[in-house]
Amino acid sequence: MKFINLLKKELSELINLQMILGLVVALGIFMVLGGIMDTTIDEAKEETTNVTIRLCDRDNTEYTKSLIESIKKDGNKVKIFETSGSDYAAILDENDIKDLIIIPEGFTAALEKSERPEIITVSRMKSAATLSNLNVGTSSGLSIIKDKIAADVASRNGMSAQDYSIIETPVQVRENTVVDDKSAEIAPGDIMSKIALQNSIMPLIVFVLIIMTSQMLMSAVANEKTDKTLETLLSAPVSRGAVIGAKMLAAAIIALINAGVYMFGFTFFVSGATDTVADAAKELVESSLSVDEAISKLGLTLGGLDYFLVGLQLFFTIMICLSVSLILGALVNDSKNTQNMIMPIMMLAMIPYMISVLADINGLPAVFRYIVYAIPFTHTFSAIPNLMFGNRTLFFAGLIYQMIVFAICMFFALRLFMSDKIFTISLNFGQKSKYKSRKRKAEKAAASKKEE
């Protein structure tokens, strides 16, 4: 009953309008981003499947005319533009297009002289974003023109169509990917593009969870201390263990709600992208396995036990955050210092988070690897990759290490809270200690009185 009362109080302190607004805004941002991503990829997909080759024939010879006709006959959409000059920006603007292939004057003449003729391409770059600069028309148009000319030259030199086909594609590549002891006929790049996006969710959620949990508990303890409500609370007939337990549980509940919302939002954002890309990939390579089938065949999916283990590791990560935050919160003697106190936890979360996003932690040089392994949060960031790629020993070693770290941190947190130190300990960050300055004043006053 008393514990429920304490828990309700802690939850009501943490759930406020600011927190709810923050969650709604975060969810909204993810949904809007997801929608934008979906539309952008749809447009890119549309452009990939319905390619329009925009051409300008400035050579205007029989050869170039027949070349264009031949491209059209093969079922390609071709749009012809009449342009002049070299102000390409003005040409794109006037015709309201974003790319153009120009066959310049002298193209046929050069070809007849067995010289390499020039072709000019113009593409507008809108931004640094990859998808915004996708100009499929130019690249596929160029490729078709090159093939036509190569086939033409080969034919003129007496080469059969079959021989030319072998020269054009000398080998049939059948790409296979092996994970642990399983293999599937798929390019590693296709697998990576899907799981990299999926695996980027977990580190983000873990990072948000670590920072949010720590911040909440630290502020809860620091505010109780600076407002002197802690003294009132601990002098009431309720055990210190219940006070700490209620604070930790409330912070964990709120952090999990936040993590759930972030996970939902981010999954919404990512699913649009992965589904569309995966569909496009499947359409393009109909004969081979779909990406999802290949991922399943390679054992890169997580089972029920794996999800339980990931959840268990996440639980210990939160518990470590909570126990460390209890200690750091108790050291605060001014609510302004709470922001400074979060720095150690933020750094410990940031290092493995950045590494996990940019590189494989297990692939780092030995010295760096062990330093990063010593950070307890590292094992949470590498939990899913470890389970996916069969590094179970490493996963369980990380889990046991986290349990030990939690036990040590909790031992010190409880010792601090059960002792007098909870009221006397503080870090001042360069400020003068109230106690010391008071003592100094009293000593000065005593000395001056004695002199009198």
Partner 1 sequence: MSDVLEVRGLTKQYSKVLAADKVSFTIGEGEIFALIGPNGAGKTTTIRMISTLLMPTAGDAIVAGHSVVKEPAKVRECITYLPDEAGAYKNMTGLRYLRFMAGLFVSDIDGINAAVERAKEMCGLGDRLEDKIGSYSRGMIRKLLLSRAVMTRPKLAILDEPTSGLDVLNAIEIRKMIKELAEKEKMSFLLSSHNMLEIEFVSDRVGIITGGHLMVTGSADELKERYGANNLEEVFERVVKEHEVH
Give contact residues for partner 1 (rule: CB under 8 A). Answer: 1-2, 5-6, 8-9, 12-13, 16, 227-229, 231-239, 419-420, 423-424, 438-439, 442, 446, 449-450
Residue 245: CB minimum distance to partner 1, A: 14
Nearer to partner 1, 1 or 366 (CB): 1
Cα 177 to Cα 288, 296, 362, 382: the distances in Å are 13, 12, 20, 22
Residue 247: CB minimum distance to partner 1, A: 13
Nearer to partner 1, 371 or 446 (CB): 446
Nearer to partner 1, 184 or 220 (CB): 220
Measured CA to CA, the distance from residue 37 to residue 174 in angstroms comes to 31
Residue 286 backbone phi and psi in degrees, to 5: -70, -30
Determine the distance from the C-alpha atom of residue 86 to the mean position of all C-alpha atoms in its chain, rounded to a whole number. Answer: 42
Nearer to partner 1, 2 or 392 (CB): 2
Nearer to partner 1, 142 or 233 (CB): 233
Cα 247 to Cα 14, 306, 341: the distances in Å are 10, 30, 18
Residue 127: CB minimum distance to partner 1, A: 44
Place of tokens 């150690």: 344
Residue 318: CB minimum distance to partner 1, A: 24
CB 402 within 8 Å of CB 193: no
Nearer to partner 1, 133 or 239 (CB): 239
Nearer to partner 1, 10 or 190 (CB): 10
> What is the token pair recorded at 224?
């109780």
Neighbours of 22 (CB within 10 A): 14
Nearest to 375 by CA among 262, 238, 231, 210: 210
> What is the token pair recorded at 294?
């290949």
Q: What is the DSSP string of 273-303?
A: HHHHHHHHHHHHT-SS--HHHHHHHTT-S--
Residue 448: CB minimum distance to partner 1, A: 11
Beta-sheet pairing, 99-103 with 52-57 = parallel
Residue 317: CB minimum distance to partner 1, A: 28
